[in-house]
Amino acid sequence: WLRSESNIAVIENGSDKTQQFKAVALDLLESTVADDELRARLTPDHPLGCKRLVFSPDFIATLTRPNVEVVSSPARALRARSLVTADGRELDVDVVVCATGYAAADYLGQIEVTGENGASLHDTWTDGAFAHLGMAVPGFPNFFMLYGPNTNVGSNSVIFILEAQARYVVRALKHLRRKRKSYVAVRPSAMAAFLADIDRWMQGTVWLTRCSSYFRAPSGRVVTQWPRSARAFWSMTRRFRPADYTFEPPTNYPARVTAAADRTDG
């Protein structure tokens, strides 16, 4: 854990740690791939860490095997026994495995979440997902999430982040019970301040360099990554701050209704 924390500089574009990791990667390519043309194709043209890093002891070596061909042109069509690439090549295939990644910036998928006044979280997040400390969204009371927007750490385990969030939510629930409240919603002002901090901390990170990655929403904003250390996130979530929330529902908020189901024996 401490070693991972000490590598936090790897998220900073051009840092000594980034250059160190890049040198290791290039040395691996140089020592593993003898073919100059293949090595050039396998060498990324974007800064290290701009896309997700993959750690594997044998992936590069596998690409040099005589029965492996690296095809860089995108797939355009799939026929009965072949795959056609964008440059017009037709490759005979027996099996096609579609490993196209996943939509990490799409936090909801097909889940519908409705807040106050019928607000849709899908619509609220049209320009990119956001949440206070990655957990709460204004206008969506009594709704907390784990592993929400901007909580994916770049140099440590996300399990540590999830544990910090779980403890934070429990503290929020204890506060509600202690104050005999049943409504909690993060204030827009707290959300705006947190987003301003995220944007400020994100400056200088490798994720803002010019490359296409699943860290970004269609608007271009980085919505998945936490731009500081895991310890910093733990420190920010160590205490529940009631001032960041409101505990009084709006006047048009539906009254709480408790109904007992009829039971018929016999």
Domain positions in the chain: 2-92, 116-246
Judge if pTM exceeds 0.75: yes
Contact yes or no for 155/229 (Cβ under 8 A): yes
Handedness of CA 165, 167, 170, 172 (dihedral sign): negative
For 116-246, CATH number? Answer: 3.50.50.60
SS3 for 14?
A: coil
CA torsion angle 56 62 64 65 (round to 10): 160
How confident is residue 54, by pLDDT bands cut at 50, 70 and 90? confident
pLDDT digit string (tens) for 166-205? 999 999 999 999 999 999 999 999 999 999 999 999 999 9
**In contact, 191 and 130? CB cutoff 8 Å:** yes
Would you say residue 266 has pLDDT above 70?
no
Render pLDDT for 57-106 as a digit per residue (tens, 0 to 9). 899 999 999 999 999 899 999 999 999 999 999 999 999 998 877 788 89
Asked if the model's pLDDT at residue 257 lies above 60, the reply is no
- SS3 for 30? helix
> Could you give the angle at the alpha carbon of 156 between the alpha carbons of 224 and 168, nearest 5°?
70
Distance between CA atoms of 22 and 32, rounded to whole angstroms?
Answer: 15
Residue 82, pLDDT score: 96
